[in-house]
Amino acid sequence: MELIKLDFYTQGVLSIAALIGLTSFLMLGQGRLLRLIFVFALQGLLLVLATALAGYSMENSHLYISAAITLVLKVFLIPWMLQKQVYKLNLHRDVETLKNSTAVMLGGATLVVFSYYVLHPVIQNSSVVLVNALAVGLSLVLLGMLLMISRHHAIAHVVGFMSIENGLFFAAIVSTRGMPMVVELGIAFDVLVAAILFGIFFLHISSSIDSLDVDQMNRLNEVDQ
Amino acid sequence: MNWIFAFIQTLLFIVLAPLLVGWVKWWKCRLQNRKAPSLLQPYRDLLKLTHKQPVVSHTASWLFIATPYIVFSAMILAASVVPLISIDLPTAASADVIVLVGFFAIARFFQALAGMDVGTAFGGMGASREMTVSTLAEPAMLMAIFTLTMAASSTNLASAIGYVLDQGMVLRPSFVFALFAMILVAIAETGRIPVDNPATHLELTMIHEAMILEYSGRHLALIEWASAIKLMLYGVLISNIFFPWGIAVDFAPSALGTALLWLLLKLAVLAVFLAITETALAKMRLFRVQEFLSFAYLLGLLGLLSHIILEASR
């Protein structure tokens, strides 16, 4: 379908989808933890906007509820908790040097192309208007994984994990007119519990190996070598 | 008749360019709590320089003297290709946007050669830095432009602008990316803060100024004028491609008049934004410029991808 024939709200959702993709790239290129968390919150906010707009254009009122849950959890609560952890563990002045950031960026762009290629048959056979943005959802998942692979810091890993969840949520909205409420509530609380558990893990990791750099865990061994 | 209009429009480009530079300077001065020079100061500077005798080093070859003329004429040719107030141009039909990038490349190539020609340390250093910046900026600019041309299915600027104008108000995710990529490239290519500082003559930081340090008199005037035209070209490209509303589609006098008013308004607003960013930001370290430009490239690439993924018909 031509972009010009779509209504204004659908165009808006597609534009926000592109911006959500951009925030994933911004996260890949961000070495400071506090800014990383801020960009993550921004991604959550764009997700809220996209959900609310999709709810309005598809006349699906329960999408407003999931937008509200996302607003509370992913824009305020989880970023706030992560930020508190960063201050508590005194990491807010650390800058992680990104190794081969250009390669990671180009790899990210390749992942976007890959997810478009994989989803192209699905998109062509679907009648849902927003399904064009499904490739963005999948690429958010893959970019979140790339973020986890390319970083050494545990908090960056958690942000990557949460942005994978953002990608799944976004894919669900654009491809299915919204998941059932029960599933959505379940996932939302899973994410919340995961965030709290990760907080406890951070404390344990940093108290046992005195750092959150997970590369140092490679040196842990059962037997002496 | 059309050719006369094309000629007048190019002339307008050349005449208005120093005014734009003066306008940016005026705003910068006001924002930094300094007393601003008159808007006509760039014209006076150019006039003063043309009256001075140019000093040319003994070691300089013919290239050094020919370069200002080559650069200036390349910029005039580039200006004749870009639709300023009307899109119905015979010159715009004869050359597309890749030729435009080629004109910029010719000017830059000769400037870099002339910078190295005299054999001073600064000229060579400036030339090497300028080429570094431009090798990174050019792909980013082409990416941004390809996004536009893919949407319009034409590399011709006039027909692409006409296409955007025809479609009216459409939210295009790819154009948002292309716009930001284009702004970043324009900042790098015209040598503004945070990539280069047009007002500095400090050895360690200058890029463009180091390359033209040996020029004086009317040669310097031509080069300064050419860079003013280049700034205006980028401003017109950004405002006419992404916000084409108001541009004339024919040669009716009333349409041309409103188009000129709209254009001046758009350029004035754009220049104020430029002055604000130049005041608010500090110049980057030279080795961070590649991060800045690879971000511009990434934006252009994302624009292209989001055109294919989100906008193309399935």
The pLDDT of residue A2 is 65
Rounded CA separation A105/A30 (Å):
11
Arithmetic mean of pLDDT over chain B: 90
Residues of A with Cβ-Cβ distance to B177 under 8 angstroms: 18, 22
- Whether B172 has a pLDDT exceeding 70, the answer reads yes
CB A161 within 8 A of CB A181: no
Question: What are B226-244's pLDDT values in tens digits?
Answer: 999 999 999 999 999 888 8
The pLDDT of residue A224 is 65
Share of chain B above pLDDT 70, in %: 99
The pLDDT of residue A98 is 77
Verify whether the Cβ–Cβ distance A132 to B314 is below 8 Å.
yes
State pTM to two decimals: 0.88
The pLDDT of residue B105 is 94
Q: How far is CA A76 from CA A51, A55, A185, B170, in A?
A: 17, 21, 17, 32
Total residue length of chain B: 314
Neighbours of A150 (CB within 10 A): 18
What HEC string does A26-61 produce?
HHHCCCEHHHHHHHHHHHHHHHHHHHHHHHHHCCCC
Sequence-ordered strand ranges (E) for chain B:
none
- Whether B314 has a pLDDT exceeding 60, the answer reads no
Rounded CA separation B249/B262 (Å):
14
Residues of B with Cβ-Cβ distance to A143 under 8 angstroms: none
Question: What are A11-47's pLDDT values in tens digits?
Answer: 888 889 999 999 999 999 888 889 999 999 999 999 9
Residue of B nearest to A131 (CA): B310
Residue type, B10: T
Of B170, B177, B313, nearest to A11 by CB-CB distance is B170
- Whether A1 has a pLDDT exceeding 60, the answer reads no
Q: What is the mean pLDDT of residues B113-126?
A: 90
- Whether A4 has a pLDDT exceeding 80, the answer reads no
Q: What token pair was written down for B45?
A: 């500077």
Lowest average pLDDT, out of A138-142, A203-207, B95-99, goes to A203-207
Which residues are within 8 A (CB) of A5 and not within 5 positions of it... i.e. 6 or more apart?
A: none
Q: What token pair was written down for B204?
A: 């360690």
- Name the residue ranges covered by the structural domains of chain B: 2-311
Rounded CA separation B146/B304 (Å):
7
The pLDDT of residue B313 is 63
The helix or strand, by DSSP H or E, that contains position B72, with its residue range, turns out to be: helix B62-81
The pLDDT of residue A218 is 75
- Whether B203 has a pLDDT exceeding 80, the answer reads no
What HEC string does B262-312 produce?
HHHHHHHHHHHHHHHHHHHCCCCCHHHHHHHHHHHHHHHHHHHHHHHHHHC
Rounded CA separation B234/B79 (Å):
10
DSSP structure class, residue B154: -
Verify whether the Cβ–Cβ distance A109 to B172 is below 8 Å.
no
> Left, alpha or beta for B122 (phi > 0: left; psi -120 to 50: alpha)?
alpha
Of A18, A102, A123, nearest to B314 by CB-CB distance is A123
Q: What is the mean pLDDT of residues A80-103?
A: 84
Nearest CA to B96 out of B154, B181, B12, B163 is that of B154
Question: What are A146-184's pLDDT values in tens digits?
Answer: 999 998 888 888 999 999 999 999 998 888 777 788 888
Question: What are B234-274's pLDDT values in tens digits?
Answer: 999 999 988 888 888 877 888 888 999 999 999 999 999 99
The helix or strand, by DSSP H or E, that contains position A19, with its residue range, turns out to be: helix A8-28
Question: What are B34-90's pLDDT values in tens digits?
Answer: 999 999 999 999 999 999 999 998 888 999 999 999 999 999 999 999 988 888 888
The pLDDT of residue A213 is 79
